[in-house]
Structure 1
Amino acid sequence: MFRLLAALLSVFSFQSMAAPERIAIVGAMDVEIEGVLPKITNLDKQTIGNHLFYVGELNNKPVVVTKSGVGKVNAAMTTTLLATEFNVGSIIFTGIAGASAPELEPMDVVISTALVQHDVDLTVFGSPMGLIDGYDSREFIPSEQLVERALSSAKKVLGEERVTTGVIASGDQFIANKEKVAYLYQEFNAKAVEMEGAALAQVADKFAIPYVVIRTMSDKADGSAVLSYEEMKKATADNSVAIILDMVK
């Protein structure tokens, strides 16, 4: 009896270890993931709390796709669930952002080479803006391999002139102010500003999960941001989805 139990446990352990790691695809809003969902085969919907995950295969690769919700807390919670519940081996965060580099225009794409939380402020203790207590650097560095793959796919989809790499700044603020944009560019050398990527990066680093953030510019994050954002939201999200579909091959 003992030998039979041991054998069964051994088989179960082997199967668990042998289960392929999933690619996680995350967007903050429905529009940022809805283009991926029809492409998923063997689809299974799983809910944890009130958080919905789409599990299946994309181009014969095991994936889990989900909407995080807007903001850093939602991004961190989603990343934690992906890490603990779905055997995730890599994370691709996709969606739209505001351009903070002056040379960028709507529909351009920024692939993250570093992510910072621009709204972390411990300067009263002598720390630089964005540095979180207990960390040596304010930058979170994504997977070089995923960055290269995303860059290659983005250039294929959009052309080299519309794609760049750089720092992406995250904070719980919708930026629509020229002075704030100039500050983010000067302080962090940030090319794009959004509300989730660096929080995802912080949690993914804790779980040693490779990740990359891909952002298509919907606006220039200045005084016209709200109008441009609403006009461009669907088109820019579709670009990000097209890049992901090329990556997951």
Structure 2
Amino acid sequence: MTGPSVIVIARSDQAVGLRKRLGNDPSVALFSDCDSLKALEAILSGPPKILALDRGFVATARAAALVARVKAEPHLRATDVRVLAEDEAHLPVLLSSRAPGLEGALMRSSYPLDYCGTRRAPRFLTNRDVRVTVNGQGGHVVNLSCSGAQLMATVRLRPEETIRLALVDGQGEVRLKGVVAWSVAVPYNGAVCYRAGVEFVDPDSMTLEAFCVRNIADPDHASNAA
């Protein structure tokens, strides 16, 4: 018998809302974090196409053991292990996602495990409507992650300089402090601009992650730009 194509493991306090969102689709199985052993049995007998883990569960030893087992099983190599993104209220973004189809909504409201689970996450291309101001001057976001960004700015940027940033989209603004890791002057439209890599300083991780969820153009492919 074919198992579910999507398996979700979530904290018990999130499971009720997620169960309502996921409905009675037989292709999806939802497990509470306290039932992680049962979830592992379902994963091993699957294999599922997608394994989505609650952000809080990912930080536990049980999750680490489960992921290690999944990674060690040859027949699970094609399983896409993802982490459910959360909004500012620490609720799964999936609950409010309007993407068409359950699988599409899940993909748009989660990230690959390696992206969410590392401090220096890979950076991703953003949607075109994302804007940035650098020390009050307009700029352009080249790529973005929850730890930093590469951007273009008309204001001069020097390595180790502390700068003020504001990331803006159609739903709001995220204000940040950053430190320039590197910068280079480049010609642009007959003028000189500065391309720079910026590391964020003590960002509000939940607010920034919600911004990334809304605006990363392709969650599954990191930008090749450094």
TM-score normalized by the length of structure 2: 0.31
Structure 1 or 2: larger helix share?
1
Q: Between Structure 1 and Structure 2, which shows a larger proportion of strand residues?
A: 2
